[in-house]
Structure 1
Amino acid sequence: MSPLSRQTAQELGRRLYAAGFRPLPDADNGGMLIGTRLWRVRSGYVEYLALRPNGLAHAVRAEATFDYQHPADHGRIVEHRSGYVLNALDWLLATSDVPAGSRRRPYDP
């Protein structure tokens, strides 16, 4: 998959910022930058979008629990999707205020 065009990347950035997402660099175990992880907290959940340079993304919604004594643990992952970044973002934004059991919107990878 090819990288995002400049126009698409700028529009994506505007949508993410307007929706309350904030960026953090995403590195692998060797310390190499592999993309960006954007996150926000929504009514008891943490939502994040892991962006990769090739235009793919992984969207996750997890319970917002954290314990500093066990920093590798986190709340239960409630939902996740992978695919092209704009599709993953659309899914995350369209489902953020709908109870998990009542979601019927299809996801197009």
Structure 2
Amino acid sequence: MHDLQETYEMITNRFEEWKERQRLAGVEQGLEQGVEQGRAQGVEQGRLEGERALVLRQIQHRFGDLPAVYRLRLQSASQAELESLADRVLDATSLDELFL
């Protein structure tokens, strides 16, 4: 009976150790995934900000200082909108035409 109790305790302890290792492995995997997602989002954010800055420079070069109303629209522009502005700045004759 004593050996059976020791065996039970040993199995229980091993099982608890295994559960803890699995939990820690899950936490580590979750952290790695979170870091990777954060890195990818940061790269995308940086790319978008870089494109926004370039489009702003193009617009300012063509039309001069950008009024606040257009600057706000540029700040909230999506990737597709920025690409469209970058194309249209080549042919637009005014800021109003550019931001139609």
TM-score bucket (shorter structure): 0.3 to 0.5
The structure with the largest alpha-carbon Rg is 2
Q: Larger % of strand: which?
A: 1
Q: Greater relative contact order (Cα 8 A, min sep 6): structure 1 or 2?
A: 2
